[in-house]
């Protein structure tokens, strides 16, 4: 007998639907079907996969408004934010189509070393098999296409498991994939209960796992997966640095967009702001004024900037972090207000460097400010976290930028932009507990492939 789960709108707690988890028998049937899909993919030319993905991009564009509304209903993300996500999802799909045509290997002469001459090695990239793609709630369609797109482009079959909150939007995405021409044998949707995840991750018919989410879940995946290929995009505690030569208006706008959009629920959100002492007061005043003007409320309204977080439990955890920082000596420059699953944009000053809100990832709209005099003093503070995803800096001092690029433990440093900068064809990923491997369409294709060499 299958188990069920119920979903509600985080904005008003209205019932969205009741769904059934996939049974283990259904999962095994899907995996057997995907095994057949691997043979179908071998017979599908790269240009055919590219054409299918371009058709899918067109369908996503046609259904963008419908999909955006589903995302907002399911997650509480503002409708404007959901519409931007759909633009990104279309771009990711187009990029996957283009990269499907560009997969290339190399030819190597064997005479580089003695006694190995007279041969040529033809190195090709081949698909791994069946990729288990697991996505989180915050960008349900864009992140899905950053996995499904390159996995399909590389010639794999795909078992797709979204966050339970995104059941309706993800099912619509899969339906559009089928309409575009991706065979059911190549893509299957599943929603296993938590109790079945370990044995699914360990299943011999799963050849690789591509996961975006939290560290605890990634640890469980790693423990169960054994020797499978893992591509893990995890959390971040991303800094935004405001130097003394920064454009303060632009920096404040970026800080708001990169922290309070999506109610702060982004792995690349600007979770810690480091501000040079000489501009601290002026920047803080600009930031507080702009943040206080943000509209908080119904995520379906076009002018709303901050909606609810994903559920009440998440709001409670954010509140606990804020109160902990205040108990450690922080003062409230803005916010510290709550209503149901709403956490109002909160700006904290005088935050201790070893406060939990500075060291741990806080998945919500809270922004701790840290004043500094010399850039050297903030490097160990920024690096004093388990994460190392992205960072941003506002400055035109190339020497400072280059120095921080070398010293900060991150995968990307964005100049005169926030740490949330991402575009489809750039590599994306971090160091330490921010993950393993790189996304970004071209790089993800490589991660979901292996080299095979013909010696002639």
Active site residues: 233
Q: Which of 234, 232, 212 is nearest to 222 (CA)?
A: 232
Tokens of 220: 């469980």
Query: Exposed/middle/buried for 308, CB within 10 Å: 0-12, 13-18, 19+?
Result: buried
Alpha helix ranges (H) inside 350-456: 356-359, 375-383, 398-407, 441-447
Phi, psi dihedral angles at 343 (to 5 degrees): -120, 115
Q: Which of 58, 4, 316 is nearest to 176 (CA)?
A: 58
Strands (E), 143-283: 157-161, 187-189, 208-212, 229-233, 238-242, 270-276
Dist CA 238 CA 14 (whole Å): 34
Torsion sign (Cα): 39, 40, 45, 51: negative
**CA 218, chain centre distance (Å):** 14
Tokens of 155: 């010639």
Helix, strand counts (H, E) of the chain: 15, 22
């Amino acid at each position: 007998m299958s188990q069920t789960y119920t979903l509600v709108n985080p904005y008003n707690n209205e019932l969205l639907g009741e769904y059934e988890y996939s049974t283990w028998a259904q999962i095994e049937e899907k995996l057997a079907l995907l095994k057949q899909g691997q043979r179908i993919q071998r017979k599908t030319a790269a240009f055919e996969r590219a054409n299918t993905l371009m058709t899918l991009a067109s369908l996503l564009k046609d259904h963008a408004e419908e999909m955006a509304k589903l995302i907002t209903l399911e997650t509480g993300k503002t409708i404007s934010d959901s519409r931007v996500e759909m633009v990104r999802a279309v771009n990711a799909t187009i990029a996957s189509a283009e990269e499907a045509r560009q997969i290339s290997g190399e030819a190597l002469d064997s005479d580089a070393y003695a006694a190995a001459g007279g041969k040529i090695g033809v190195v090709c990239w081949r698909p791994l098999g069946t990729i288990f793609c697991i996505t989180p709630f915050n960008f349900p369609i864009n992140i899905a296409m950053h996995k499904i797109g390159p996995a399909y482009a590389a010639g794999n079959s795909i078992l797709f498991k979204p966050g339970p909150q995104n059941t309706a939007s993800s099912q619509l995405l899969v339906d559009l994939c089928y309409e575009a021409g991706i065979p059911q044998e190549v893509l299957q949707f599943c929603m296993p209960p938590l109790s079945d995840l370990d044995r699914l991750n360990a299943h011999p018919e799963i050849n690789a796992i591509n996961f975006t989410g939290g560290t605890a879940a990634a640890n469980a995946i790693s423990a169960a997966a054994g020797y499978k290929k893992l591509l893990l995009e995890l959390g971040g505690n991303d800094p935004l640095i405001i130097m003394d030569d920064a454009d303060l208006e632009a920096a404040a706008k970026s800080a708001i967009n990169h922290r309070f959009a999506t109610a702060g629920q982004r792995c690349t959100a600007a979770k810690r702001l480091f501000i040079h002492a000489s501009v601290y007061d002026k920047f803080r005043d600009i930031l507080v004024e702009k943040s206080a003007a943000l509209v908080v409320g119904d995520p379906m309204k076009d002018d709303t900037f901050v909606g609810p977080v994903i559920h009440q439990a998440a709001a409670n955890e954010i509140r606990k972090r804020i109160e902990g920082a205040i108990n450690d000596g922080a003062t409230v420059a803005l916010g510290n207000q709550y209503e149901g699953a709403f956490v109002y944009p909160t700006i904290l000053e005088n935050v201790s460097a070893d406060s939990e809100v500075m060291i741990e990832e806080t998945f919500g709209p809270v922004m701790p400010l840290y004043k500094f005099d010399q850039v050297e003093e903030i490097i160990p503070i920024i690096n004093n976290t388990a994460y190392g995803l992205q960072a941003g800096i506002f400055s035109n001092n190339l020497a400072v930028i280059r120095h921080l690029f070398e010293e900060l433990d991150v995968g990307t440093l964005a100049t005169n932009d926030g740490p949330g900068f991402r575009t489809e064809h750039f590599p994306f990923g971090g160091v330490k507990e921010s993950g393993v491997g790189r996304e970004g369409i071209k790089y993800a294709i490589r991660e979901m492939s292996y080299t095979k060499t013909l010696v002639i």
